Structure 1
Amino acid sequence: MDCKLQLVGVQSSLEMGSLNDGSMHDLEDESLFSPANVARKAQSISATGNASFPTILSTSGDKMLRNRVYRSLKTVVFSNKLNLLMPFGPLVIIVHYLTGHHGWVFFLSLLAITPLAERLGYATEQLAFFTGPTVGGLLNATFGNATELIISIYALRSGMIRVVQLSLLGSILSNMLLVLGCAFFCGGLVFHRKEQVFNKGTAVVNSGLLLMAVMGLLFPAVLHYTHTEVHFGKSELSLSRFSSCIMLIAYAAYLVFQLKSHKDLYLPLTEEGSQNGEGSDDDDEAPEISKWESVIWLSIMTAWISILSEYLVDAIEGASKSWNMPIAFISVILLPLVGNAAEHASAIMFAMKDKLDISLGVAIGSSTQISMFGIPFCVVVGWMMGSPMDLNFQLFETATLFITVIVVAFFLQEGTSNYFKGLMLILCYLIVAASFFVHEDLKDDRFLKR
């Protein structure tokens, strides 16, 4: 047996030697590398490749695209239980055309827009991974307010100026009291053994902008109620449009201040209170969808919210009569609760991760953006539409906003938060909600469609 194995080994080694020798001789043989052979082999390889490679690449590319779309749908649409409300969107259209019952259309629209607003915030958060914390906070506030702005533009186009004013006012009150209060409260419960800290300097800047917005709303109201207009019915509108342009300029300067000249002030604070651009928790987090997937989902959600907002606005007056509920309460309390779903979820989530600067950027930043950009923008858009949208929000509403800004500025002055401060803000919001429930607004033609 051993002899046979040795013979086999010798034979194999001889064969390998003969192959090596043959290969050496082949290398020296010029006929193997003649131009004809090379061209023939290249042609055969090219023919084979042209037949197989595009098919393989096309099949694999389609499969990868399908997998990516499925993974994106699974992450964005099927990962959140709140998305169970999304089928109410098509139901709104069906109920509108079959029954025309404004109460049901309004209620179903609220349910359908709620998950869309939350998913809009989610897509913005994913996009923020690629833009950094400062730009991310600005994007979160911007797209978080997209729902309110879309609803306002549809209402403005329908001539429902008072609904626009009240819904934007309600968004500011909701962000400053309810959203920020819930963030402070939930963060304080999670980190109950310490006080959470945030950048006091940025909070002071935002408080100053909010007070400037109150000034812009206060003077037209005072001018109206003191009857001191030079040109009755015109001076108030002219002052509102001029003040709106000034507020838009101020907000543009604030963006330059925040994103360019003093962007170091807006870096998040660490636990020790020092400014650091890279938080320790950020290293453990990664985006769940890509940048372009985030942009695509933002476009889809915004378009769908726009469609549903038209049905929502058309049903406001009918819902008020059907439910025997003041339009002021619906506009100031119910509409912002839906529109602020994204900010609400984001602010609480970041506060529970001890990222209070981002929570403040979402809540207070959103209020600042609505007051310094959203309201003046609607005045300018109404000006272009020929609609007399002004900054006279009436005395009761302006006083409510002024007191709210003072209370929030007082809570922010120390640069710390705890669950008790959050509870106080939430209770203040309940007082505001009760006040608007018993408040009878002026029955003027600004509620009616033109």
Structure 2
Amino acid sequence: MEIFLFSQLSRIISGWLKIHNFQGENPILKQLAFYTGPTVGGLLNATFGNATELIISMYALRRGMIRVVQQSLLGSILSNTLLVLGCAFFAGGIAHSTKDQLFDKGNAVMNSGLLLMAVMGLLFPAVLHFTHTELHFGKSELALSRFSSCVMLVAYGAYLFYQLTSQNSLYMPLAEEEGENDESLEEEEAPEISKWGSIIWLSILTLWIAVLSEYLVNAIEGASVAMSIPVAFISVILLPIVGNAAEHAGAVMFAVKDKLDISLGVAIGSSTQIAMFGIPFCVVVGWIMGRPMDLNFQLFETATLFMSVLVVAFMLQDGTSNYFKGLMLLLCYLIVAASFFVHIDPEAIQDKPKKT
């Protein structure tokens, strides 16, 4: 149990940096953004914010714990889309109860579309498996997953290109809104460390996350037995809540300040990156390692993700937010959490760590 609690540091070490000064963003990446610009800086912030999940996934994948990889990535998406966004909408709605808060509908719809595309990529292998309609049993499902993953990576690359070249970047409101409210402060603000200093610090912290992540992967099964709760509940619910603490704090603080575009960039942007890059990247890496990592997240998990993304897409379609929408998202997350608490994953029983 003590090892499990200690290993949580691997989920929150990057998050601690974001919560620092309640800025909702990594201060080292903020310094690096002075040299890269707000768009690249925002993309770097989202990428390193998800670095913990990816590093943990690599360790688990190397040990053959495919279900842990799938469920931890799924849990990160569910936590960001329902819990983090729900708290942001609720807190922002309470703070501004006399009006509906507004956000950029175009960017929200685009990210919702990417999430739905990711759901499509996960849905077809699961349906193929459970309908027993594979052309080559045991091979078609894996081949489809690898092909779909490559397509999703291409789509995410095109999305990044669009973000870097478009004038309506998802991350531009961060610079624009801060500039409107703190023009005098922005004029005086200057980088505190050099570009290479920022890169070195990021490398050190990423390496530290990698070291601690090994403890986490080794402790999951023992923690499940010690606390008498399913491994799926730990992977999908508990770990993402801790790992997304930074996004949670940042999204809520910006929503209270009536900067919902930034809150959406934190919550939905992070979910999009996990769904369109993190998951297919793990499939490709598993392909290289010789691990049968696929996009079949099983019927229960895939249905949960599909319904969650659908609910969020409907919440974002009109470009407005209020506390009732936030409350609905939070209640949906409670239903999801309760479902995984009583869910026994039959695949996890066979998914034991393999010695390398």
Give the distance between the partners of 1:368 and 1:334, measured in 2 at CA: 20
Q: CA deviation at 1:221?
A: 0.2
* Aligned pairs (5 A) from 1:282-297: 282-283=182-183, 284=185, 286=189, 289-292=192-195, 293-297=197-201
Please point out which of 167, 189, 194 is paired with 2:94.
Answer: 189
Give the distance between the partners of 2:225 and 2:267, measured in 1 at CA: 32
Change in CA separation of 1:361 and 1:116 when aligned onto 2, cut-off 3 Å: closer
Q: CA deviation at 1:263?
A: 3.1
In structure 1, what is the equivalent of residue 104 of structure 2?
199
Change in CA separation of 1:130 and 1:278 when aligned onto 2, cut-off 3 Å: farther
Runs (5+) with no aligned partner, structure 1: 1-102
The answer to whether the aligner puts 1:405 opposite 2:309 as a matched pair is: yes
Give the distance between the partners of 2:337 and 2:206, measured in 1 at CA: 28
Question: Does the CA contact (< 8 Å) of 1:198 and 1:268 recur in 2?
Answer: no
* Larger CA deviation: 196-205 vs 185-194: 185-194
Runs (5+) with no aligned partner, structure 2: 19-24
Q: Could you tell me which amino acid in structure 2 is paired with residue 204 of structure 1?
A: V
Q: CA deviation at 1:137?
A: 2.7
In structure 1, what is the equivalent of residue 251 of structure 2?
347
The answer to whether the aligner puts 1:154 opposite 2:59 as a matched pair is: yes
Question: Does the CA contact (< 8 Å) of 1:210 and 1:368 recur in 2?
Answer: yes
In structure 2, what is the equivalent of residue 426 of structure 1?
330
Change in CA separation of 1:132 and 1:429 when aligned onto 2, cut-off 3 Å: farther
Give the distance between the partners of 2:161 and 2:30, measured in 1 at CA: 22
The answer to whether the aligner puts 1:142 opposite 2:47 as a matched pair is: yes
SS of structure 2 residue aligned to 1:296: helix
In structure 2, what is the equivalent of residue 393 of structure 1?
297
In structure 1, what is the equivalent of residue 214 of structure 2?
310
Q: CA deviation at 1:246?
A: 0.4
Question: Does the CA contact (< 8 Å) of 2:68 and 2:235 recur in 1?
Answer: yes
Please point out which of 272, 277, 290 is paired with 1:368.
Answer: 272
Change in CA separation of 1:287 and 1:343 when aligned onto 2, cut-off 3 Å: farther
Give the distance between the partners of 1:287 and 1:330, measured in 2 at CA: 42
* Aligned pairs (5 A) from 1:224-373: 224-260=129-165, 262-264=166-168, 266=170, 279-283=179-183, 284=185, 286=189, 289-292=192-195, 293-373=197-277
Change in CA separation of 1:259 and 1:159 when aligned onto 2, cut-off 3 Å: same
Give the distance between the partners of 2:242 and 2:115, measured in 1 at CA: 22
In structure 2, what is the equivalent of residue 118 of structure 1?
16
Give the distance between the partners of 2:131 and 2:103, measured in 1 at CA: 41
The answer to whether the aligner puts 1:211 opposite 2:211 as a matched pair is: no
Give the distance between the partners of 1:128 and 1:345, measured in 2 at CA: 21
Give the distance between the partners of 2:52 and 2:122, measured in 1 at CA: 22
Question: Does the CA contact (< 8 Å) of 2:34 and 2:191 recur in 1?
Answer: no
Q: CA deviation at 1:342?
A: 2.3
Q: CA deviation at 1:147?
A: 0.7
Deviations 1:223-262 (A, max 9, x none): 00000001110100000000000000000001111111x2
Q: CA deviation at 1:311?
A: 0.6
Question: Does the CA contact (< 8 Å) of 2:10 and 2:216 recur in 1?
Answer: no
Q: Could you tell me which amino acid in structure 2 is paired with residue 384 of structure 1?
A: I
When the two chains are superposed, the root-mean-square deviation of aligned CA atoms in Å is 2.2
Give the distance between the partners of 1:333 and 1:444, measured in 2 at CA: 16
Question: Does the CA contact (< 8 Å) of 2:173 and 2:262 recur in 1?
Answer: no
Question: Does the CA contact (< 8 Å) of 2:84 and 2:251 recur in 1?
Answer: yes
Identity over aligned pairs, percent = 70
Task: Give TM-score scaled by structure 1 length.
Answer: 0.72
Give the distance between the partners of 1:129 and 1:265, measured in 2 at CA: 17
Deviations 1:100-149 (A, max 9, x none): xxx22112211564244221542334444554443333222111111111
Question: Does the CA contact (< 8 Å) of 2:11 and 2:242 recur in 1?
Answer: yes
Question: Does the CA contact (< 8 Å) of 2:9 and 2:212 recur in 1?
Answer: no
Question: Does the CA contact (< 8 Å) of 1:162 and 1:446 recur in 2?
Answer: no
The answer to whether the aligner puts 1:109 opposite 2:7 as a matched pair is: yes
* Larger CA deviation: 292-301 vs 221-230: 292-301
* Larger CA deviation: 119-128 vs 312-321: 119-128
